Structure 1
Amino acid sequence: MTFDPRTLRDAFGAFLTGVTVVTSFNEQGDPIGFTANSFTSVSLDPPLLLVCLARTSRNYAALTGAKGFGVNVLSEGQKEISNTFARPVEDRFASVTWKKGPFGAPVFADVAAWFDCSMHQLVDAGDHVILIGRIEGFENSGRTGLGYARGGYFTPALAEKTLLANAEDGLLLGAVAERDGEVLLVGDGKGSWTLPFVEKAENDGLEALERHLACQIGLSIQTGLLYSVYEDTKTGRQHVVYRASLGKGEPQAGRLFLIQDLPLRQISDPAVRELVKRYAQESTLGNFGVYFGNQEKGRVHVVAAKG
């Protein structure tokens, strides 16, 4: 059976992916790179990943003959970099800040993550070749990645900004803030533990939560992906909770608890207790989801994996 290539490509485009720029050097020693979303992890031991390269690519000879390559996972603010490396621009690298990685491939600044790989194996695959790289070095910045689906970009932050902008009064922003396998809990004023929350004022966004923790907890925080959206039907208040990373130092308020030894019985709010319990379970599995519902019932949508 034969298929129309355009129709088949559109069907493939239904799958939501991240966006990467694959890099290396040509025979003349000039940096080369192209935008790709056909990227995936392969193995942890040994550490392997793969990208797919079209045989018609102008970079085909250079990449298949290279000793290695880099994969730069673009962050949500790097759409223009993606566009630049997807076009036949004369000097694509003039638009980015980059350096050589540990194995020598060009790696970009401000990306969500980068991987510098030696060439492990080339696999013929129809009109493409699969480049399997052995990871020689990598860096994970914690930034949220840029998404792509149906021929267009999307970012979690854009969707969340819309959510926050349309929220009515009485919205609380909270965080499951983690550092080195520990989660921050704060006192709720009633002798129990809870997550850090701050009331969202009009026109406030995530910066309100980050300011609150910086002032009240005394630690920097980098908010990540959305983790839970639920309404407390008893109070009528909406809660929007994010995963977050804490900076260094001891908290001036609250306490850090090991993820697998959280004081669940000392969390009086059942919604927070279930949220924290789910986070501990998902941390063990390495798969995280987003909960939508109220304090009693709802649904978890699995959308991300732990880095």
Structure 2
Amino acid sequence: MSTVTLHAPTTDLRSVFRRAAASTWVVTGARAPGLDPVGFTAISVVSVSLDPPLVSFNIGKDSSSLVTLARTHRAGLHLLADHQAHLATRFAADRRQRFVDEGAWHWDHGLPVVTGAALHLTTRIVDLVEAGDSFLALARVEHASSTDHSPLIHHQGRFAPLHLIGA
């Protein structure tokens, strides 16, 4: 009797999800109020519950922001505005360059805040669930503010204002 091992085909989710349009966010935190800001670009922020107000986002296990967010349980979530593609690119690149332009961000309630974002949420992380090469962060919204700016969208590997996607 021979044994046959079946292997599930591997799917390159990055290439599959390039076809899905997603909102573009920057997630921020700090080691202590007003100290050592961390942050990264995320396209995984979603609303989970209205009562209580919960959102989720993914953070890679190798993210330089993970230790800070896991220790402090606080995160700022910023839906980038249509004119902030440069920030999406910056926060997806070298972590040492993310907070170099102090005009693009400021401190509020001990967290770094992206200036001019379309939406800003102050959250308390209530759970980090291991999910493959990432953690799924479940966060309770403590404060929300918005502007009239249109959101920045990620599609086909690029960032663009909503009205330019598909053009």
TM-score band, normalised by shorter chain: 0.7 to 0.9
The 1:158–1:8 alpha-carbon spacing in structure 2 relative to 1, beyond 3 Å, is: closer
Q: For 2:18, which of 13, 33, 36 is the aligned residue?
A: 13
Counterpart AA for 2:153: G
Q: Work out whether residues 107 and 116 of structure 1, in 8 Å CA contact, stay in contact via their aligned partners in 2.
A: no
How do 1:136-285 residues align onto structure 2 when only pairs under 5 Å count?
136-158=142-164
How do 1:68-107 residues align onto structure 2 when only pairs under 5 Å count?
68-95=74-101, 96-101=104-109, 104-107=110-113
Counterpart AA for 2:149: R
Q: For 1:3, which of 6, 10, 25 is the aligned residue?
A: 10
Residue by residue over 1:19-62, the C-alpha shift from the partner in whole angstroms, topping out at 9 and shown as x without a partner, is: 00000012693111001101101111101111101111122222
User: How many positions carry a matched residue from both structures?
Assistant: 157
Cα distance, 1:156 vs structure 2: 2.9
Residue by residue over 1:161-219, the C-alpha shift from the partner in whole angstroms, topping out at 9 and shown as x without a partner, is: x8xxxxxxxxxxxxxxxxxxxxxxxxxxxxxxxxxxxxxxxxxxxxxxxxxxxxxxxxx
Q: Which has the higher contact order (CA 8 A, sep 6+)?
A: 2
**In 2: Cα distance, 1:90 partner to 1:54 partner:** 17
Using structure 2 for the length normalisation, give the TM-score. 0.85
Residue by residue over 1:84-111, the C-alpha shift from the partner in whole angstroms, topping out at 9 and shown as x without a partner, is: 111114242232132214xx32222211
Q: Work out whether residues 122 and 130 of structure 1, in 8 Å CA contact, stay in contact via their aligned partners in 2.
A: yes
Q: In the alignment, which residue of structure 2 is the partner of 1:31?
A: 37
Secondary structure at 1:75 match in 2: coil
Residue by residue over 1:265-291, the C-alpha shift from the partner in whole angstroms, topping out at 9 and shown as x without a partner, is: xxxxxxxxxxxxxxxxxxxxxxxxxxx
For the pair 1:46 / 2:52, whether they are aligned, the reply is yes
The 1:130–1:89 alpha-carbon spacing in structure 2 relative to 1, beyond 3 Å, is: closer
**In 2: Cα distance, 1:128 partner to 1:89 partner:** 18
Q: Work out whether residues 112 and 144 of structure 1, in 8 Å CA contact, stay in contact via their aligned partners in 2.
A: yes
Moved over 6 A (4+): none
Query: Could you list the runs of 5+ residues in structure 2 that have no partner in the other structure?
Result: 1-7
For the pair 1:126 / 2:132, whether they are aligned, the reply is yes
**In 2: Cα distance, 1:30 partner to 1:75 partner:** 24
**In 2: Cα distance, 1:25 partner to 1:140 partner:** 22
The 1:22–1:150 alpha-carbon spacing in structure 2 relative to 1, beyond 3 Å, is: same
Q: Work out whether residues 100 and 106 of structure 1, in 8 Å CA contact, stay in contact via their aligned partners in 2.
A: yes
Q: In the alignment, which residue of structure 1 is the partner of 2:3?
A: none
Using structure 1 for the length normalisation, give the TM-score. 0.48
**In 2: Cα distance, 1:158 partner to 1:126 partner:** 33
**In 2: Cα distance, 1:50 partner to 1:65 partner:** 17
Q: For 2:62, which of 51, 56, 60 is the aligned residue?
A: 56
Counterpart AA for 1:141: T
Q: Work out whether residues 129 and 135 of structure 2, in 8 Å CA contact, stay in contact via their aligned partners in 1.
A: yes
**In 2: Cα distance, 1:43 partner to 1:67 partner:** 19
**In 1: Cα distance, 2:65 partner to 2:95 partner:** 13
Query: Could you list the runs of 5+ residues in structure 1 that have no partner in the other structure?
Result: 163-307
**In 1: Cα distance, 2:80 partner to 2:163 partner:** 14
Q: Work out whether residues 25 and 32 of structure 1, in 8 Å CA contact, stay in contact via their aligned partners in 2.
A: yes
More helix as a share of residues:
1
**In 2: Cα distance, 1:91 partner to 1:128 partner:** 23
